[in-house]
Structure 1
Amino acid sequence: MSNYGHMNFDTISSLPLSGFPVRVWMTDLELRLVTSIGSPGLDQHFSTSGIAVSGREEVAYDVEYPQHPDVFAHLRARNGERVTWRTGPEGRIHACVAPIFSADKQVTGIIGFAVDYGREADEERRRRSVESLLRHLLQAFPSPVSVMDGDGRVMLVNAAYLHAVGKSEDEVVARSEQPPVPALPSPAHGLPDSPMSTNHQSNWIGANGESFQSQIVSVKNAGGMEISLHVASDLTREEALRVELEKYSRHFDLIFDVAGRPLAILGDAGEIEQANRAFAGILNVSKGKLLGTSIDRWIGASSRTNFGVIRRSVQAGDPSRLNGVLLQGENAPGLLANISAFRFIGLGDSSSVLIAIDEVDQFRDQTPTTRASLAVQEIDARILELLAAGHSNSEISFMLRLSRQGLDYRLKLLRVQLDASSRGELVARAYSLGLFSISQWPPVCRRPEK
């Protein structure tokens, strides 16, 4: 290939530029491409923007299209100027063309060079976006936080950090952390290190006298660059909050205990989270033994199903009341209680159920030799036993071979006889009147004396 002045086309063609976002090319005075080497993407851009193809293999700039920036720049270079301009999408390609002079100072061709800054621009936008997000996260974080480079110089801080150290951002950024923040101590015990990170802990006193505990995590990226994240906890504030919470907890326990009504708070699964002395007293058990147990442990089997329905209804937000609930204390007579239940909102919007016992009726187990002569017919006794065991009306009808109308009639007679208004109250009244023994399961109803 021939030479233009001192420019050797073979030398340019041999440059290893294909892996870089650059392009070098040469044209003759007719603006025909003589050689081109570099990025395929840039080659594509310059080959389709302001270029005309004439002939089978010849590629040239279209001199009849001078208003195109690429063509106009080459025309100016042919006239002896050196021209720089920006082209491509969003002007991300920076290009330059210059004339090639012969020994006698005549223009013999044009050489061009272009760099695609698109990748760098994208990376810069991503970097700024990530940095902006990190800044917003740091400012939203309530604890003091700083980000440092591998040499311990501060790169980013939040307002809580500046308040803790009593300095402005200009006094901190790009400088090494200074007291009251100490240098990195030895790795802390119990904090796992990894090949990519190490952990450190230290305690220090802030500019305003607060006690802080720092957690500093140093991380190495894939390129080996080390960045440290420093997060400090305000021990003074945490201790003040703990004391305040303890005070309110004691006040709550005191008010809860001196309340006249027996009260208990149930968790999601029905476990007793809190109970006052009155509630523990009617069950004849200590508070320590009561807390953490299931409420079903203290409710008679015949009342558990109805109480479970009420508890779930209250958890959904509907206050409710249930009469005639059989309570079974520890080594104590059975109790019939009227219970009101409310939804109780605790810390962090956690939901519990507050139950209050409004009325308690104590009764003792009675036997045929110690009670009055109250008794029911055999068929009614079987109905009461199946009701107490939790069977539905359809199940009772099937098991006793009664029609639906026949069962309804027998239940109506029982409600009149026992002065009860519902299935649940029938069972409760039967226990109260001594027809059932609270210590026997499944329930067995007392039959008439022969």
Structure 2
Amino acid sequence: MAAGEPDAVVWRNRALMLFDRVSVPVAVCDVYGQVVLANPAMAAECGTAPGRLRGRQVLELFRPQEATQVERIAEALRLRHRSRYQVSVCWRAPGGAERHGQLTADPVSDSVEETPALLVMLRVLGERPVPRPEPVRTTEVERRVLALLAGGATTARAARELGLTRDGVTYHLRRLSTRWNAANRTELVARAYALGVLAPGVWPPDPGGATTEEEPGEEGRGKGTGPSPHG
């Protein structure tokens, strides 16, 4: 081993340790922007592990907000200019929020003649939170119909327990199926759980958790004690 090589190995290992532990998102890319090495902080911004970023294009992970910035940087690198380059970017964080920030790229190499690598650092400037979905609105009768259906009740049994005709129950089911684009009753129940209309982990099914929708006269639709004209 040549003189000075042990020191070089020691300092290389120290640099890699610092690279991994620094809280600033950092990556080393080739001159074309392909990730060669990324630290955990950079990987966390992409919701993955550092090794999975290798080979990815940094400007696909972080979308440039101005194409002209990228064109100017590409031209400068082609001419072997060694300046600090900055690109305004946006990206979707692991939690779904839309973030924006700035990528800073510094060309680095052991000599001026070598094709440089790019030391890329990300600065997070802010984020737009994930929009909260509108609460699912259902009537009390609709929730009770869904709960009975989830519990295995037939149309006839649901009609008896709710004081409706069979046509009345069918009306509510058809209305919900149209609203949620459900192809059948199984899908209708699944959507009711997914949307929080029916409480998960509760038996018998509980029609709770959704916002009540006021519809005058709705609860009275289909009420009656006589048999349905359609059987």
TM bucket, shorter chain: 0.3 to 0.5
Query: Scaled by the length of structure 1, what TM-score is found?
Result: 0.25
Greater percentage in strand:
1
